[in-house]
Amino acid sequence: MAKGLTKSFKKALWVYHCNSGSCNGCDIEIIAALCPRYDVERFGIKLVGSPRHADVLLVTGPVTRQMADKVKRVYEQMPDPKAVICVGNCGNTGDVFYESYNLVGPINEILPVDVHVIGCPPRPEAIINAVAKAWVKLETLEAKK
Amino acid sequence: MKQKTTAKTSYHIPIGPIHPALKEPVYFEFEIDGERIVNVDVKLGHVHRGIEWASRKRNPVQILYLAERICGICSYSHPAAFALAVEDMADIEVPERAEYLRVIQAELERICSHILWAGVAAHEIGFDSVLYLTWEIREKTLDLTEYLTGNRVTKAIMMIGGVRRDITKDMIPKITKTLKYLKDNFEKLRRIFLDDKTVKMRSQNVGILTKEDALKLCAVGPTTRASGVKKDVRVDTGYFAYGDLDIDYMTPDVLTGGVNGDVYDRIIVRLLEVKQSIELIEQCLDKMPSGDITAEPKIAKLLAQLKKVNGEGVGRYEAPRGEDIHYVKLDGNDAPFTWKVRAPTYNNILPWIPMLKGEQIADIPIVAASTDPCISCTNRVAIVNNENRYELDKEELHRLSIEKTRRLMK
Amino acid sequence: MSKKLSPEEIVKYFKDEFKTKIKSTQIRKKVAGLKKKESYSIWMKIDKSIFKPFIKRLCDLQFPHLAVTSGNDLGKTIELIYHFTLGYGTRFGEIVLNVSVELPKSKPEIETICDYIPGALVTEREKQEMLGVKIIGIPDTRRLFLPDDFPKGVYPWRRDETGPEKMYKNLHEVKK
């Protein structure tokens, strides 16, 4: 999968997805990553319905004023160790929405981001690559303990 | 005398390409009595990014790319409607070959969108394996889209006055191969969705929208066609090359002979539209004339031409979810004076209220998903701030929906 | 509606009743495809005083489909444009009717049409919050798109001092 993954993570990696106001393009590609063509479930990566069970947070979209609070709350609900992946150009730099009266900043002004995935929308392969990198980070965090 | 106690509860219902973890907030507030819904209040508000305001600093060609990112699923509809509006205002004549190419791309997107919706609806009923099956079919269609345009989702193929890429003779075998694959699998899809007993039990007589309500509330798209109202911009006005093609309104009585206006009818309408789209693409490939693919290939000249024009234009397009309308006013500057976008889901929000009254809580996901809402198109956000509420989150609601299916299957 | 109406007939239908209060009309024709099928659209400017009777007369002709209302800030006035369509249901029979009403900025008020067309609620609420127009008689006055904590008196579509410039943010900015 990725360099640095020396031994397998003790449990499977559970991912929670949060949409902070995106156009849904990135969200479709995230779900396409679960479908039989790319099939991440064979690696043990699963999409869960609650942030309390998740290890990795996938955030999409430029953060609108209304969603800034919610995204922060979701991040706080996740237990340690955790990683944040920012999917898509909107969350990274604003992309086409770089000037607006209703958006509050790229995501790294609100949450600490570990992996940035660029693309509009990024291909499912790029998203899987990002999750693998986050996996490596979580493994190193776990090994440090 | 027994007093009816109604408890005010509000549900956060994520709608969109749905999956357990996807959260696109549309907040409903329900008053329930036992298991039945007595009253519905739809509070909107969601993804307001200030797009129409952002257009005041961009020229029309840049707005095409901005319009694509209003919504990822309907990423062809918004540039198409915008191009129609500008062409209406500036009297730009589009070459015939470009019109046919536009129809092919439009119908391809319609197929992808309806199949996406079919998977989502199946997931709401509880058939996850059908979600994977339909999305696998969609992947093949996305392969074709990528072959023709270069990308899966944001295609950037529309240009004011034509299209940006041509379909050459050596691309046609791949198109016919994919169409054949779709036709072979269409029977499978039809059998799963329309002949299955459980799907019928969950979707018939649920979420009914009567014809009068659909007319009064100005509903659009498959939602209104499933209630028997014949509104389809492709047939009514014949933009692009639809005037030459053999196309008719797709209402449920084409298949079943009667119109109920329930969720089952909406499934019928969407599946029939997939078949119709496949036939339209075949007709286009047969009849396509030769010629230019755009009225003005040099963008600088096009922008100079648009700068001289003063006026207003309206462009209407039939997106997979309904009628998409854009209004543009140019006044001689680089950027337009006004740009108004009205996505199809905008008009389909009010019909949620009569559809949900009287239904059970477990039916909320399937009824809400049956109108195929695309919330990022609608630019809505609303947050309910009420006291006395408990939150049923997406997992709870989805679980209730699946439990009902299992109960019915016994 | 059983027979297909032509755009000239529709314009005549309104001019008969309202005569001079209709300030201008324009009929546009568009052709498309190889067979060059035509589609028409009508642009009308009417006076604010006949707005409600105009809508009633329109509903008597055929129940229209209200697509959306758009708005322009023209300096001293606010212009609201109602986009209706008539004649849906028959192939090539639809005619787009764009009705434009101007309101003075000192008193930007207009009556609601929700009693004739209930589907207009969503678009009227949007005009209230985006342009600062007061819709008299609207059943629901809450905000639609903007968050509840957005400051009152800031209207995103306006081009004067009540515009949204104070809420502006540039996401590309790099802070040192």
**How confident is the prediction along chain A (145 residues), in pLDDT tens digits per residue?**
444 444 455 667 888 888 887 778 888 888 888 888 887 777 778 888 778 888 888 888 888 877 788 888 888 988 888 889 999 888 888 878 888 877 887 888 888 998 899 888 888 888 888 888 888 888 888 778 7
Average pLDDT, chain C: 84
The minimum CA-CA distance between C81 and chain A, rounded to whole Å, is: 25
- Res A22: pLDDT: 79
Query: Which member of B99, B239, B338 has the closest CB to residue C70?
Result: B338
Report the run of H or E that residue A138 belongs to, with start and end: helix A124-144
Using one digit for the tens of pLDDT, what is the confidence trace for C134-143?
A: 888 888 887 7
Q: Is B384 on the interface with A (CB under 8 A)?
A: no
* pLDDT, greater one: B39 or C109: C109
Q: What is the 3-state secondary structure (H, E, C) of chain B?
A: CCCCCCEEEEEEEECCCCCCCCCCEEEEEEEEECCEEEEEEEECEECCCCHHHHHHHCCHHHHHHHHHCCCCCCCCHHHHHHHHHHHHHHCCCCCHHHHHHHHHHHHHHHHHHHHHHHHHHHHHHCCHHHHHHHHHHHHHHHHHHHHHHCCCCCCCCEECCEECCCCCHHHHHHHHHHHHHHHHHHHHHHHHHHCCHHHHHHHCCCCCCCHHHHHHCCCCCHHHHCCCCCCCHHHHHCCCCCCCCCCCCCCHHHCCCCCCCCHHHHHHHHHHHHHHHHHHHHHHHHHCCCCCCECCCCHHHHHHHHHCCEEEEEEEEEECCEEEEEEEEEECCCCCCEEEEECHHHHCCCCHHHHHCCCEHHHHHHHHHHCCCCHHHHCCECCCCCCCCCEECHHHHHHHHHHHHHHHHC
Interface of A with B in 44-63 (CB under 8 A): 47-50, 61-62
Contact B47 A64 (CB under 8 A): yes
Contact A21 B47 (CB under 8 A): yes
What are the DSSP E strand ranges found in A12-67? 14-19, 46-47, 56-60
- Res B173: pLDDT: 92
Least confident stretch, A46-50, C9-13, C108-112, C135-139: A46-50
> How many residue pairs bridge chain A and chain B with CB atoms within 8 Å of each other?
128
Best residue in B27, B49, B58, B399 for a mutation probing chain A (most A CBs within 10 Å): B49
Best residue in A64, A99, A100, A101 for a mutation probing chain C (most C CBs within 10 Å): A101
The domain C7-160 having CATH identifier 3.30.460.80: the answer here is yes
User: B282, B232, B236, B243: which is closest to B94 by C-alpha?
Assistant: B243
Q: How many other C-beta atoms are found inside a 10 Å radius of the C-beta of residue C132? A: 20
What are all long-range contacts of C164-170, with beta carbons under 8 Å and residues at least 24 apart?
C164/A101, C164/B50, C164/B53, C165/A101, C167/A101, C167/A102, C168/A99, C168/A100, C168/A101, C169/A99, C169/A100, C169/A101, C169/A103, C169/A104, C169/A105, C170/A98, C170/A99
Q: Is A94 on the interface with C (CB under 8 A)?
A: yes
Q: How many other C-beta atoms are found inside a 10 Å radius of the C-beta of residue B147? A: 13
Q: How many CA atoms lie within 13 A of B131 on its CB side?
A: 17
> How many residue pairs bridge chain A and chain C with CB atoms within 8 Å of each other?
36
ipTM here: 0.90
Q: d(Cα B112, Cα B137) in Å, to the nearest integer?
A: 9
Query: Which member of B17, B23, B47 has the closest CB to residue A28?
Result: B17
Q: d(Cα B59, Cα B52) in Å, to the nearest integer?
A: 13
Q: d(Cα B147, Cα A109) in Å, to the nearest integer?
A: 38
The tens-digit pLDDT sequence of chain B (410 residues) is 444 445 555 554 443 333 333 345 556 666 666 667 777 776 666 567 778 888 888 888 889 988 888 887 888 999 999 999 999 888 888 998 999 999 999 999 999 989 988 888 888 788 888 888 888 889 999 999 999 998 888 888 999 989 998 988 899 999 999 999 999 988 888 888 888 888 888 888 888 889 888 888 888 889 889 998 888 988 888 888 888 888 888 888 888 878 888 888 888 899 899 999 999 999 989 988 888 888 888 889 999 988 888 888 999 999 998 898 999 998 888 888 888 888 888 888 888 888 888 787 778 778 877 877 765 544 332 222 233 344 455 556 667 777 777 777 77
Are B157 and B64 in contact by the 8 Å Cβ rule? The answer is no
Residues of C in contact with A104 (CB under 8 A): 169
Residues of B in contact with A121 (CB under 8 A): 72, 153-154
The minimum CA-CA distance between C166 and chain A, rounded to whole Å, is: 8
Residues of B in contact with A127 (CB under 8 A): none
- Res B133: pLDDT: 87
Q: d(Cα A61, Cα A22) in Å, to the nearest integer?
A: 4
Q: Is A17 on the interface with B (CB under 8 A)?
A: yes
- Res B111: pLDDT: 92
Residues of C in contact with A103 (CB under 8 A): 169, 171
User: A103, A102, A105: which is closest to A92 by C-alpha?
Assistant: A105
Are B28 and B37 in contact by the 8 Å Cβ rule? The answer is no
Q: Within C62-174, where are the H helices?
A: 121-131
- Res B25: pLDDT: 53
Domains and CATH numbers, chain B: 11-48+346-409 (3.30.390), 61-337 (1.10.645.10)
User: C149, C147, C125: which is closest to C138 by C-alpha?
Assistant: C125
The minimum CA-CA distance between C131 and chain A, rounded to whole Å, is: 15
Residues of A in contact with B398 (CB under 8 A): 49
At residue C103, the 3 state secondary structure works out as strand
Cα dihedral B303/B304/B309/B314 (nearest 10): -10
Q: How many other C-beta atoms are found inside a 10 Å radius of the C-beta of residue B184? A: 9
Domain range summary for chain C, segments of one domain joined by +: 7-160
Contact A97 C171 (CB under 8 A): yes
In what order do the strands lie in the sheet containing C77-86?
Answer: C22-32, C37-46, C95-104, C77-86, C65-73
- pTM attached to this predicted model: 0.89
Render the burial of C62-81: b for 16+ CB within 10 Å, e for the rest: ebbbbbbbbbbbeeeebbbb
Contact A103 C169 (CB under 8 A): yes
- Res B24: pLDDT: 53
Contact C70 B235 (CB under 8 A): no
Q: d(Cα C11, Cα B407) in Å, to the nearest integer?
A: 59
Interface of C with B in 51-90 (CB under 8 A): 63, 65-68, 70-72, 81, 83, 85, 87-90
Interface of C with A in 91-130 (CB under 8 A): none
The amino acid that residue B43 corresponds to is K
- Res B396: pLDDT: 61
Burial class for C161, CB neighbours closer than 10 Å (0-12, 13-18, 19+): exposed
Phi, psi torsion values for C102, nearest 5 degrees: -110, 135
